[in-house]
Amino acid sequence: MRNYFTKIKAYVVKHKIISIIILIIILLIIYWGYGKLTSTGGETQYITTTVQKGTIVSSITASGQIESSSQIDLKANTSGTITYVGVKPGDKVLKGKTLFSIDNKDAQKVIRDAEISLQSAQIALDKLKIQNSNDNMNADLAKSYDDGFNTVSNTFLDLPGIMTGLDSMFFKSTISGGTGQLNIDWYEGQASSEDQDKVKSYKKSFVDSYNLALAAYNTSSDNYKTVSRTSDNTTIERLISQTYDTSKLISDAIKNANNYLDIINDSMQRHNFNIPTIINTNKTSLSSYTSKTNTALLNLLSIKTSIKGYKDAFPNSSLDLQSSELSIKQKENTLQDAKDKLSDYYVVAPFNGTIASVVAKVGDISSGILGSIITNQQIALLSMNEVDVSKIKLGQKATVTFDAIDNLSITGTVAEIDTLGTVSQGVVSYSVKIALDTEDVRVKPGMSISASIITDSKTDVLIVPTSAIKTQGNIKYVQMFGSPLSTPLAGSQGTPSTIAPNQITVETGLTDDTNTEIISGVKEGDQIVSRTITSTTTKTPTATSLLGGNTRGLSGGGNFGR
């Protein structure tokens, strides 16, 4: 063995370059095989997130400068007849004072209608809570089980007589004189020889169905004797179902008995035989049995349906309550929106100042400039495009930051919006003025600023990452798996799955830089796909690795012989 390794060593020393190449080839083969076993190249991975409740704030950003002048025009957010003018030129006013009022009868009606709608929804919710209270529902369910036991008891008042009657009609010996009940063979013998095969077939159908009914009756009867109305619900419900099934089998046996007698009766009539009175008597009894079993089946089915309805109502009542509570929330939002809209009918002083001019008078339409106000308060002048300015309203809150002053942020309010835009090189822009809430000595006229204006906000709403929402035509949807995916393995971005997720159509609301509100389609806690990763890379080395052109993981280029 030592001589063998000595020869290998001598060969490696003598043929150094060849040995290194062989070693590299072995390493590449091992690397290629490992890559094939461990690579997830080409396998789709899914990054998931959970639908959550939170706050979403929609805002618009714009840039501008601090204005050197301090006069702004006074305008209304809505058009209508001016009913009040509360100032004249030269008046000093405080921030928030009402300067002009606009006829708001329509807005007040919208508020009243929203209040009535909310009250109606609240009454409906209260009634639903009373109807679906556990005490009431438990009482209704308990009564249905008690009614069920009574129905079974009434059924067993009739079933014994029916089974005894069938036994007497077809399986008892002939009574002396031929006027009593006869056995089944006697009935068969009344048919002509030509009809015997047909009669035997009907006889077999009856006997088979009777034996099934008899076995079921004996079992049900024994069970009924062991059950009382104080038994547990499961036992009573099982007895109801068993009695229903037994009654169906007995009903089938009665039907087959009727068919059996009919074929005998028809055969005797065709051959002008005198039909024994007992046949007609038994057919009358069978008709009575049919009526009783049909009534029993109807009552048993009704009570089964009633119990199922009350049991199903328990989980459904929770969903009904959630739906009503959601309706209350929506109507509360509608009422709040109507109240917020009411502020549009009043023009208030955006800051402390002096009234410079009053153009409007009572009876005018508030469609233009109503007046102007002068103040020493600092004003930020923004330039906005036509898309963004359409979302801006007077009175909206804003936050202003300064390019030249680090870590300075001042809040403010939208005080003026240009009615007419300015066109420059085919682009329309509008001026918007922000009245700053506080002053800072570092802020100078002409300073460059950035402002973020809050256009809308909602709290306690369902939100998802905007990246999770996909669009197909006019339809928006998210992707969701039938069963939640497992947590990604360490070092993996997502979880692989060979099964594609389902598309769930959603209705969206507000959106901000990262999140979007979901109005309908999913619920809190649902796992949805936020991003999909489709890998196309593999770890298979190329043939040029052997020539030094793509030697990933190796060093030294092609200098093997040094």
Over the stretch 329-360, which tens digit does the pLDDT of each residue have? 888 888 888 888 888 899 998 888 889 899 99
pLDDT tens track for 60-81: 999 999 886 678 889 888 889 9
Tokens of 1: 């063995």
Alpha-carbon span 101 to 348, nearest angstrom: 9
Q: Note the pLDDT of residue 242.
A: 94
Instruction: Say yes or no to pLDDT of 316 above 60.
Output: no
pLDDT tens track for 84-102: 999 999 899 998 899 999 9
Percentage of the residues of the chain whose pLDDT score is greater than 90: 29
Alpha-carbon span 192 to 488, nearest angstrom: 82
* Mean pLDDT computed over 488-503: 78
Under 8 Å between Cβ of 104 and 345 = yes
Residue 561's pLDDT band (cuts 50, 70, 90): very low
Instruction: Say yes or no to pLDDT of 192 above 90.
Output: no
Which residues are CB-neighbours of 100 under 8 A, at least 6 positions away? 74, 76, 82, 84, 85, 86, 346, 347, 360, 366, 370, 371
Instruction: Say yes or no to pLDDT of 40 above 70.
Output: no
- 123-135: burial string, b at 16+ Cβ within 10 Å, e else: eebeebeeebeee
> So where are the chain's domains?
2-39+539-547, 44-53+461-534, 159-311
Alpha-carbon span 321 to 507, nearest angstrom: 22
Q: Note the pLDDT of residue 15.
A: 61
CATH class held by domain 44-53+461-534: mainly beta
Residue 243's pLDDT band (cuts 50, 70, 90): very high
Q: Both ends of the chain: CA-CA distance in Å? A: 31
> Higher confidence at residue 511 or residue 491?
511
Q: Note the pLDDT of residue 30.
A: 63
Residue 497's pLDDT band (cuts 50, 70, 90): confident
- Three-state SS across 179-244? CCCCCHHHHHHCCCHHHHHHHHHHHHHHHHHHHHHHHHHHHHHHHHHHCCCCCCHHHHHHHHHHHH
Percentage of the residues of the chain whose pLDDT score is greater than 70: 82
* Mean pLDDT computed over 197-225: 92
Q: Note the pLDDT of residue 173.
A: 57
Q: Note the pLDDT of residue 179.
A: 46
DSSP reduced 3-state for 22: helix
What are the angstrom distances between the C-alpha of 230 and each of 123, 140, 220, 233, 557? 38, 16, 18, 9, 91
Q: Note the pLDDT of residue 538.
A: 43
* Mean pLDDT computed over 161-185: 72
* Mean pLDDT computed over 299-325: 74
pLDDT tens track for 5-29: 555 556 555 566 676 777 777 777 6
List phi, psi (to 5°) of 508: -105, 160
Under 8 Å between Cβ of 498 and 436 = no
Q: Note the pLDDT of residue 99.
A: 93
